[in-house]
Every structure is written in structure tokens, then in C-alpha cells.
Chain A
Amino acid sequence: MRRDSIYPHRAIRSIELTPERILAAILLAVLLTVTVYAGRDRLFVEHNRIAASLLELSGIPTYGAASVEVFPLLGSADAAVTDTFHYHTSPLRVVILLVSSVLALLILHRRVHLARNFVVFLLILLLLAAGVMVFFQAFELQSTEFTQIWLREEALVWLILPWFSASLFILGRPDAWVGVLWAIGVQAFGFVWSAVRLAFCLAVIHFSGLLFVPLLWFALGLLADNIYLLVFYSISTRQAAAKTWGKRLSWQF
């Protein structure tokens, strides 16, 4: 008997959690997870193909692919083989890159107050990597090793993502069926964007070695996964709230 909206207040009372909605959420999460797991070999192949193509397009030579184990449960994947830069090849390049990136971050620190702590964290990562490059020159990271770490993280994201999508896009908004489309969209975007980011990281390693690896792995790794999920969620919520506001019109004079 209670109305959806609290009149004359602006808020809505709640959204309805029907058994159908819960079932839809669980089914979608299970379906997507099973699809990703069952098709993981194909996914790894396509992922590598996209990454390798982007590397070629950006002028980074690749030397075929090597097999890397993701996890025993997930099997192996192909990883594009590229050259990686080493400190002893050109210390001057490292110094120039380090100084220019520190300057860039400091300018960002000064101009964008919101991002100050984040920039400090990136600076720490950058200086740490530079320290390792200079004082632990024996420490090397091959492109295949980086790809292995990357795929370990991203494969788990692809498996876990459907469960977050189910809660965010289906349980957490009034119209569940539009939420299904959002969930599928974010899954597809996540896969493609992962390949693009990996290619970019390998390209950067090709030119600068270890210097930007921690920064990239942090900023373009899990953080980037969080960001695109959040962006999709914010757009979806905006759309759902606007629609709910529209329904509330019926209670206005």
C-alpha cells in the first residue's frame, strides 16, 4: 500500500528485490563465470593476438610468443615476446626519463590538489623502481614474466567481475534487465581494455625497462579495473536514478 516515493520528500523508499531479480543476478554471474572459465584458452589466445597486433602497430617488434603458466587451475597462455630495455644499455636514458617523469608528477601535484596523495604514491613507486634499476642491476624483468603477472591478475578479474556486476547492475538498480546489458558490456570492455593496457605496458618496458613497471602495474592494473567498473556503474546509476525520478513525477501536482 505504500507508494514508491516519499511525498513530498524527494527520495524513493526502496527498490524491490524479487526472487526473479535475485535469480537473474545469480544466473548471469554463473553464466559469465562459466563462459570465461570454459573459454579461457580462446580468451588468452585472442588477448595475446590483440596485444601483439597493437605492439606491431606501434612499431615494437615481437618475436613470436612463449607459453606462460597463468595458474595450474587456469592453464597456460601465449605471451608475446619483445625486447626489454636494460639500465646498462643507456643509463642516460633512464636518468632523462626519471627526471622528466618526476617533474611531470610534481607539476601535477602542485596543480591538482585532489590528486596530491595519489601522485605522492606514484612518485614513491617511481623512485623505488629507479633504485632497483640502479642498485640491483641483476634484477631483470622479461616481457613474458610481466605478461604472466598481468594475466594472473586479469584472469582472476574476468572470473570475479560477473559477481560484482550482478550486485551493482542487477540487484542495485530498479530495472534488472537493463542491468544485464550493462554487466555484459562491462565484461567485454574489461577484456579488450586489458589487452590494450598490456600492449601499452610492454611497449613502455621495451623503451624504459623496469622504471615504470610498478607505476604502470598499479595505475593501469587493478586500479584501472576498478575505474572502468566504477565508470560503468556511475553511468548506469545516473540512468537508473533519472528513470526513477521520472516515475516520481506521477506524484507531483
Chain B
Amino acid sequence: MAVLIAIANGCLILTVVVLSAYAIRHYWFTLYRLTLRHPRDFMEVVGFVTPRISVLVPMHNEEKVAADVLQALIECDYDWNKLEILAINDRSEDRTGEIIDEFAAKHSIVKAIHRSEGAGGKGAALLEATSQATGEILMLFDADYFPGRAMLKMLVAPFCDPEVGAVMGRVIPHNTGASVLSALLGLERAAGYQIGQQARFNLGVTPQFGGTVGGVRASALRAVGGWNAESLTEDTDLTFRLVVNGWKVAYVNRAECYEEAPESWQVRRTQIGRWATGHTDCLHRFWPALLGTRHLSPAQKIDALFVLACYWTAPTLVLGWIASLFLFFTPAAHQVPLFAVALAFVGYQLFGNQATFFELGSAALLDGNSRRVYLMPLNLLNFFASTGAICSALLRYYARRISGSQGPGWHKTRRYRAKGNGNLFRNGAASLFIQGANGLYTRNVEAHQP
């Protein structure tokens, strides 16, 4: 029994140490970002950096959203002489291919790529499209995104820095009115981008390239071996291949793009399970290279490991709970006044949770989203759901790893675009009004090249 108590205490201490480390990191990022007077950005040179770009849009059964994203890209404010849009139809069974062909026929900058054989998955689709791309910079958008007119110019600006290998913009869920889950995810996304990504970029550690609403330098991509068609999260994979080989990832907070967040728990579970598996897989593959590379400082290496290991916090937390339960029910354990352990336990429970919510609240404050912040207490329930989903995903991942099972296919998140209710875009047409403090006004300024 003494041995079991010692093991339980050890597990508890491990949980406290790991989660406290993450909590300190969250707090540091939040305080740093909140008080950051001059964020490092390239906004002032937007429009002055105009290399040739290829926009890649991989699609698999995207008839609901294909027309929207292609139309938005055509309307982007970028010199058509330096722009091509590669719409990739990857063995779709619906009208995706026809829609792409219609756009290609009408607009010279759109090129249709139809895949009917070869490996499946987004990575494989990107691999094939990249071989046909002529741009210096490859921009990536998923089919359910709605890039604004200034998006391409904003995303391409950081590439004036020769060290930048990839750029990431900011995603904002547009369907936050559809369900309480999507509203909660809106809060989480805001924290992840407005605080996390911006702080990491400014501190010189690595913001993550998310594989959409972002771009990668074609020569850098070639230098690190191209897209990894085998990876479940080709974006995380590419981020760390770039970083390990000396490239940097830039983040553009103002390059905002609407996305669809999951509206149901089933979809959310699948999404977060995929992210957890992909990240953890990248951790296993990259940790030796991360520790050994001369291109990163010790602080950058530590932060990179924190990023890759972030989904391990869920099973670590569960381990802590199990240890706590055991200690609670063991008479011998709570007779011993383990002041330090108790202090640490209470401290990390409060600290760890409040660090995350400090980030959420600060992002809401910086964004000017005031009412939605009331949903924060409900995020505790979201947190439980995510913990369960991550733990089961990681269990399946390690089981597959041990048994040597097959790799990924297409992992699409369900689309809600046509649903309408609580969704900003109805019937594929966007009618956008910006609510100012003085009431409604439309932005109708004519655009031209600066």
C-alpha cells in the first residue's frame, strides 16, 4: 500500500509539474500579448510585396461550398498577371468537378486539376498540384473558407523576409450563432490566434502553420521534401520540417478569414481526435530533429516540444484525477499532511484552469467581443468533452502504432453552409454588413491598386 501511495503521489506530482508548466506558458503568452504595444507585423508593407502566387484549393465532395471559395478568390485584390488558382478535384462523387470546370472556363487564372488515381488525402492532392504550380509562393485555402479581398496581399507580405518559409493567417468561425458549441469554439479560436499565435510570433518562437489561410514558399517546400502525403496533419508536419531546417513561420493577425466551426459534438470529437493524433505523431517523428537542430535556440526548442506535446496534457490530467481519487479513498494517505503536495494540487487546479480562461477572456477583450465572454463558464464542460475525445483518440493512435495499421484517407469536417440557421452565409451568397457603434453601415469603398 505504501508503494501504491508513493506511485499515486508521484503521478500527482508529475501532473502538477507538467500542467503547471503549460499554465505558466499560457499566462506568459497572455500577459505578453495583452501588453504588446507594437506587435511585430508586416501590415505596413502589405501591397508592396507582390511575388507570383499560386493558390491551391483541394476539394473532395465540396459542391456546397466550391463556388463560394472560387468566387472569393477571383475577387481578391491581386494582380492577375501574378496569380493562378489551382482548384483540385480529388475524386469527388458530386458536382465539385463540374463547378471547378465552369470556373476554369470563365476565368483564365483558374486551372482545374482532376485526380482520379494515386493516394488519397489532402497531402497527396497538394503534392500533385504543387508540381503544376508556377508561383513563388503557394497559398492554401480549404474549400469551406471565405477569403476576403485583401487576404492574399496580407498573407504574402511577410515573404519579403527571406527567412520566412510559411505564413499563417487567422481563422474566425462565422457560424457562432448556430450552436453553443460553435460559439464556444469561437472563443477558443480567438484565444489560440489573437493571443497564442501572435505572442509566439512576437517572442520569436514558432507559430503554427495551419494548412489553410496560409502560404508556403515554394522553394522552401521543395528544400524540405514537399508535402507529406502520409501525415494526418500535413500542416503540423510541414511546420516542423521547415523550422528544423532553418525556416521561420510568420503569423498575420489581420489576415482574417471566416471558417466553419463544428456545430455538433460528433463532428467536434472527430476533429479534435484527428488533431490530437496528428500532433502526437509529429512529436514522435520530430523530437530528435528538434533537439538536434542548430537552427533553433533552446527556448525555441522547448516551446516547439510544448506545442507538439500539448495533447498529452489530457491523459496527464486524467492520470492526476485517478491518483487523486486513489489518495482520497486511501485512509493512510490523507492522514499525512502533505502540505506541499496539497498546495501544488490546489495551485495547479486553479492555476491551470485560470490560465486557459485568462487567455480566452483576454482575446475577447482585445477583439471587442464582450457578450460572448459570458459563455466562458460553459467552456469547463467543453473542456471535459475535449479531454475525453483526446484520450480516446490517443489510445486508438497508440494501439494502431503498436499494431502497425494503415494511414489516413480524407478526413473532412462536415459542412453546414446550406443550413442557414445562425450561419452568416445563406444560399451561398454573402450579404455583409458591419455593425458600427453608430448603427449599420456598409463598406463600399472602391478598391484600386495602391
Q: Which residues of A contact B (CB under 8 A)?
A: 2, 6, 9-17, 69, 71-73, 113-118, 120-121, 125, 128, 132, 139, 145, 149, 152-153, 156-157, 160-161, 164, 167-168, 171-173, 214, 217, 222-223, 225-227, 229-231, 233-235, 237-238, 240-242, 244-245, 248-249, 252-253
CB-CB under 8 A from A149, the residues of chain B are 328, 334
Shortest 6 CB-CB contacts between residues of A and residues of B: A241-B370, A17-B35, A117-B388, A117-B384, A156-B346, A118-B384
- Give the CA-CA distance A227 to B33 in the complex, in Å: 25
Decide: A14 near B36, CB < 8 A? Known: A121-B384, A225-B350, A226-B349: yes
Inter-chain contacts of A172 with B (CB < 8 A):
30-31, 34, 358, 361-362, 365
* Distance of A194 from chain B, by nearest CB (Å): 13
Given A12-B368, A71-B337, A114-B382 in contact, is the A230-B346 Cβ separation under 8 Å? no
Interface assignment of B130: CB less than 8 Å from any CB of chain A: no
Judged by a CB distance under 8 angstroms, whether B450 is at the interface is no
- Using A117-B387, A253-B438 as known contacts, say yes or no to A164 and B377 having CB atoms under 8 A apart: no
Check A226–B342 contact: CB distance below 8 A.
Answer: no
Let me know if B370 and A238 touch, CB within 8 A. Answer: yes
A103 to B366, CA, bound (A): 44
Q: Compute how far the CA of A229 lies from the CA of B357 in the bound complex, rounded to whole angstroms.
A: 10
- Is B254 in the interface zone, CB < 8 Å from A? yes
Residues of B within 8 A of A248 (CB): 368, 437
Beta-carbon contact of B437 and A234 below 8 Å:
no
User: Can you list 13 A-B pairs with a CB-CB distance of less than 8 A?
Assistant: A113-B181, A115-B384, A117-B387, A118-B381, A149-B328, A156-B346, A164-B350, A164-B354, A167-B31, A168-B361, A226-B380, A234-B374, A234-B377
Residues in chain B near residue A222, CB distance under 8 A: 346, 349-350
Contact across chains for A167 and B364 when beta carbons are under 8 A apart: no
Chain B residues contacting A13 (CB-CB under 8 Å) are 37, 39
- Would you call A156 and B377 a contact (CB within 8 A)? no
The answer for the CA separation of A237 and B369 in the assembled complex, in Å, is 10
Cβ–Cβ < 8 Å partners of B347 in chain A: 156, 160
Decide if B353 is an interface residue (CB 8 Å cutoff): yes
In the bound complex, how far is the Cα of B438 from the Cα of A157, in angstroms? 45
B38 part of interface (Cβ distance < 8 Å): yes
Q: Closest B-chain residue to A217, C-beta based?
A: B328
Say yes or no: A245 contacts B350, CB within 8 Å.
no
Most buried by B among A2, A121, A222, A238: A238
**Whole-angstrom distance between the alpha carbons of A195 and B194 in the complex?**
39
- Measured in the bound complex, the distance between the Cα atoms of B92 and A152 in whole Å is 61
Would B365 and A113 count as touching, CB distance under 8 A? Answer: no
- Does A226 lie within 8 Å of B27, measured CB to CB? no
Contact A227 B27 (CB under 8 A): no
B343 and chain A: residue at smallest CB distance: A156
- Looking at chain A's contact residues, the main secondary structure is helix
Interface membership of B48, Cβ < 8 A = no
CA distance A49 to B361 in the complex (A): 36
**Cβ–Cβ < 8 Å partners of A11 in chain B:** 194, 366-368
Partner of B38, one of A2, A72, A132, A242: A2
Interface residue ranges, B against A (CB under 8 Å): 27, 30-31, 33-39, 180-181, 194, 254, 264-265, 325, 328-329, 331, 334, 337, 339, 342-343, 346-347, 349-351, 353-354, 357-358, 361-362, 364-371, 373-378, 380-382, 384-385, 387-389, 436-438
Task: Provide the bound-state CA to CA distance between A244 and B361, in Å.
Answer: 14
In the complex formed, the residue of A with least CB distance to B264 is: A113
Instruction: List residues of chain A with CB within 8 A of the CB of B365.
Output: 12, 15, 172-173, 237, 240-241, 244
A237 touches B364 (CB 8 A): yes
- Whether A238 contacts B371 by the Cβ 8 Å rule is yes
Q: In whole angstroms, how far apart are the Cα atoms of A231 and B349 in the complex?
A: 16
Q: Is the CB of A72 within 8 A of B376?
A: no
A132 to B357, alpha carbons, bound, how many Å? 35
A183 to chain B, nearest CB (A): 13
Instruction: Provide the main secondary structure of the chain B interface.
Output: helix
User: Do residues A139 and B331 form an inter-chain contact, with CB atoms below 8 A?
Assistant: yes
List the B side residues contacting A17 at CB < 8 Å. 31, 34-35
Extra contacts besides A14-B35, A15-B34 (18): CB < 8 Å: A10-B367, A145-B334, A149-B328, A149-B334, A157-B346, A160-B343, A160-B346, A160-B351, A222-B349, A226-B353, A226-B380, A229-B350, A230-B354, A230-B357, A230-B376, A237-B364, A238-B374, A244-B368
B325 contacts A214, CB within 8 Å?
A: yes
B337: chain A residues within 8 A (beta carbon): 69, 71-72, 152
Interface centre among B27, B358, B387, B388 (most CB of A within 10 A): B358
> CA–CA, A120 to B357, complex, Å?
23
Docked complex Cα distance between A233 and B361 (Å): 8
Q: Say whether B37 contacts A168, CB under 8 Å.
A: no
| Cβ–Cβ contact B34 & A14, under 8 A | yes
Distance (whole angstroms) from the CB of B444 to the closest CB of chain A? 13
A200 to B119, CA, bound (A): 61
- Checking A156, A168, A223 against B358 with a beta-carbon cut-off of 8 angstroms, the contacting residue is A168
- Nearest residue (CB) in A for B371 is A238
Provide the residues of chain A in CB contact with B329, threshold 8 Å. Answer: 128, 132, 139, 214
Distance to closest chain B CB from A97 (angstroms): 19
For B347, give the chain A residue with the smallest CB separation: A160
| Distance in angstroms between the alpha carbons of A17 and B37 in the assembled complex | 10
Nearest-Cβ distance from residue B80 to partner chain A, whole angstroms? 26
**Neighbour of B388 across the interface among A120, A217, A249, CB < 8 A:** A120
With both beta carbons as reference points, the residue of chain A lying nearest to B37 in the complex is identified as: A14
A204 to B207, CA, bound (A): 50
**Contacts A73-B339, A222-B346 given; does A234 touch B37 at CB 8 Å:** no
In the complex, A164→B349 CA distance in Å? 12
Bound CA span A231–B380, Å: 11
Interchain CA distance A222-B378 in the complex, whole Å = 16
Complex: how many Å from CA A33 to CA B205?
Answer: 35
Let me know if B368 and A227 touch, CB within 8 A.
Answer: no
Chain A contacts for B38, CB-based, 8 A: 2
Closest-by-CB residue of A relative to B365 is A241
Q: Which residues of B contact A153 (CB under 8 A)?
A: 342, 346
Cβ distance B198 to chain A, nearest Cβ, rounded Å = 10
